[in-house]
Each structure stands twice: as C-alpha cells, then as structure tokens.
A and B are shown apart, each in its own frame.
Chain A
Amino acid sequence: MEDALHDRAFTNRLGEDAQDTHIAEAAKRDPHAFGELYDRYYTRVYRYTYHRVGSAADAEDITALVFMKALEALPSYQVGRNGFAPWLFRITRNAVVDHYRRGKRQSPLDDLEHESDAADPVSHVLDTEQREELRSVISLLSIEQQEVVLMRFAAELSFAEIACTMRKNEAAVRMLLHRGLRKMKAVLDDERSRD
C-alpha cells in the first residue's frame, strides 16, 4: 500500500526502470528478455486497462494488443530517450483510445459474468461491489484525471513517468491527481453520510 502512496517508495522502481531500459535493449534480439519485460508489466498494464474499459474480456484483448504492438515497435524504441514504462503506457493509452473509437464499449453486465478467483460466492460479490465502487467514483472524473489516478494507483507509475507518458510536466500531473482525489473524497464522504 505504502508503495502506491509515497513517491519516495518509487526509488526502487526508478532503479528498476533503468534495468527495464537495458532489458528492453536486449529484448530487441532476445525473446527471453522480452518475456521478462512482459512478466514485469503484464499486471500493471492489465489493471490500468481493466479500470479504463470496465470489462475483463476487453482488458485481456487490449493487453494482448499492447504487448503485440510493443513487440513490433521495439526496434524503434530508443534507450535513453524516455523510460520504458512511459513508452509502454503511451501504447496502452492509445490502445484504450482506439477501443473507444471503435465503439466497443461493453455493458457493465459483461463484467459481472467475469469469474472471480475467490472460491466462495460472498467474496465474489464483495469483490464485484468494490470494483463497482471504484468504477462509479472514477467515472465522475475528467478523462485526464481518470488517467492520472489509474496510472498512479493501478499501473503504479511515478509522477515523472506519468508526466512523460502524458507529455505534461510533473506539477500538472500532481494538480490533476489532487483535484481527482478531492472530487473522489467528496463523493465517498457523501455516500458514507447517506449510509
């Protein structure tokens, strides 16, 4: 939890990003290196995508497209220009935009059909309710605020990485996150007071 909250905790990740950049260079020739990048980023890409599109099936399709596209585009990735994470998340962001352009929005019912790992039905219902809670609160934010919130908490990117991905400065990213969280707090507090 702390990792997602404090930028200081991203220090290790920054070190990891330097490693990722070297692995990405090796991955241009070595499939195992590409496999390592995949293992490092699958969960983060999937989580970000899932919260953006709201359907497990669509999130799986988009995640597959993102990595296929990254593999195809890897020769054009230039080490040292930008970090690997911003490069990959720009592909992810574009894939989500393409998904909406094609009008492939799924109804929320699709997601309820997604099977949970939880063995007992009660946990499954609780998990689903919590996902719905996040989705309903996030949907009230502007697209840019949604992107920042999800890049920060679902994809676990640092402010610098988010800024690079969105081609904004860090101050603007912090401002978007702050405003997004304020809005979410107001909604959550309001819901709690009604309960």
Chain B
Amino acid sequence: MNDPVTDSDLLATTQRVAELARRVDMNPQHKARLRQELLRRHQELSAEPTQRAAGMLWPRLTRLKRLTLVAPTALAAAVACSILVWALQITGHQSPQAAEAARLSRVLSYTVPSVTRWTVQVTLREVRDNAASVQSCSVLLKPDERVYVANRRAYFYSYGKWFAVTRATAKCLPDWQWGFAELAVRLADRDHPPDFRPAGEVNGQPAEQISYIVNKPHSVQVVMTALVDKRTGLVRRLQRLTIESGKVTEQASANYGYQRMP
C-alpha cells in the first residue's frame, strides 16, 4: 500500500480535502460563552471537594469492578441516618435536621416562583456495560407560567391552570427536569426523612448535601443526593445511585443552572 501522505497520485485530492475540512464558519460568540461557562463550572467543581473526590473514586472503582462493595456501605449509611432521624422524631423533639427541612421548605416557597429558566445536564453511567451518555435540556417558562411550592408540594401554573408537578408534566428528561421542585416533596417525607450534611460552598454560597432513599418495586432502591444552595434552597447538583439486589446498576448526576427574576 502506498502511503497516503506521500502518494503523488493522491496529492491533489489530499490537498483539496484538507482545504475543505478546514473551511468551517464558527460562531465566536458560542466559543466565548462556552469558555465562560466552563470556567464557572470549573470553579463550582473546585468548591465541591466532596463531589470531586467522589468523581475521582468512581472511575477507579469502575475499572476495578468493585462497585458492589461500595454500594451496600453507602446504603447502610443512608439507612442508619434515616433510623437516627426517625428515633429522634418519635421522642417528640424536632431534630436539627427536621428544623432545617422546614426552613428550606419555606425558602423554596419564595425562590422557586422566581425561576424563569433553568438548564439540566445529565450524565448517565450504566455500570453493567460501563457505558456513559450525556444529555441536556433547557426549560424556558412563558410569561404567564410559574412553578410554585406550597404545602410542601410543587405546582406548575400555566395561563390560569394548575398542574401537580410530576414526571408526566416534564417536557424533557422526565426524571430530572423537576429535580429542584421535587426536593420540596422529599423534605416533607416523614417516612423517609432526608439526611443533611454541610457541603462547603457553591458559587461562594454555603451549601449542604441532602440525601434520601426512594424505594421502587422489585428490590430496587434509589439513593438520591442533592447539593443545595442553603440561601435559595435551589438544587445545584443531583446524583442518583440505582441499586438492584445490593448491586449498583446505574449512576447518574445532573447539574442545574437557573435564571431568576431580578
């Protein structure tokens, strides 16, 4: 076989293809905007040492195929926290965690209606075949549309009509679109109260990590971990670990960005 770079017969074709391949119009605004967004996200990730460390741990463990050793530990820790909170509640005292849940619910009730646009970027990893995919969506509310949190439930108001926020009302990424509104429901869950932990700062604001377990049929358990801005109650990052019969089958994470009314 002749070498394609020295084959004189192909030289003209090679030159033509190289010229055409390089001739592409690019939008400099897109390049600048993306650069800005990436640097902001880098700072956000740097401010999340726990998240970052976890991110470094997972790939190593994936290679070692020892995920199943970690999942029960994470699950056991989450269950132990739930039992502790439940024990405190039946003694009649409001635990610090319950007080924080109530505070965040109040905060959410006035920050959520100010959200006019939000973006979600989801990274999904199938543990079984070690495949990953990334999806994103952007939701822009119309002028007479709002999301409300009241009585620890989330509602979507659109031109005079009210809808309970569910997966069915999502226009894209049904499991994730309403992630920030879903938190209000989880905060009110007395059967599976969430676990709170401080999580440093996100975008210069104090944040906390909130974990809760969702039980699904057929021995499937889902451990959700939200990184929440303490000041606004808005979810910045949501992680989901799906466990079937004690084995992690899927891990996913979503990053949220918001635009709010001034």
Contact = CB atoms under 8 A, between A and B. Distances in A.
A65 B136 contact: yes
Instruction: Give the secondary structure class of A's interface.
Output: helix
Interface stretch (B25-33, B107-115, B209-217, B223-231): B25-33
Nearest to B62: A76
Contact of B34 (A5, A67, A130, A181): A67
A79 interface: no
B2 interface: yes
B216 to A, nearest CB: 25
Contacts of A84: none
B21 A134 contact: yes
B215 to A, nearest CB: 29
Nearest to A126: B23
B1 A178 contact: yes
Contacts, number: 138
Interface in B89-137: 121, 123, 132-136
A149 interface: yes
Contacts of A42: 31, 34-35
Interface residues of A, number: 61
Given A42-B31, A76-B56, A114-B25, A134 B121 contact: no
A67 B136 CA distance: 13
Nearest to A32: B39
B191 interface: no
Given A95-B134, A178-B1, A35 B52 contact: no
Nearest to B58: A76
B45 interface: yes
Contacts of B123: 69, 72
Interface of B: 1-5, 7, 9-27, 30-31, 34-35, 37-39, 41-43, 45-46, 52, 55-56, 59-60, 121, 123, 132-136
Interface of A: 1, 4-7, 29, 31-32, 34-35, 38-39, 42-43, 46-47, 50-51, 56, 60-61, 63-65, 67-69, 71-73, 75-76, 94-95, 98, 101-102, 114-118, 127, 130-131, 133-134, 137, 149-150, 153-154, 174-175, 177-178, 181-182, 184-185, 188
- Chain A to chain B: the 8 pairs with minimum beta-carbon distance, closest first: A153-B21, A76-B59, A134-B20, A4-B18, A31-B42, A185-B13, A154-B21, A178-B4
14 contacts: A5-B5, A31-B46, A61-B136, A64-B30, A68-B38, A75-B56, A76-B55, A76-B56, A76-B60, A94-B132, A153-B17, A178-B3, A178-B7, A181-B14
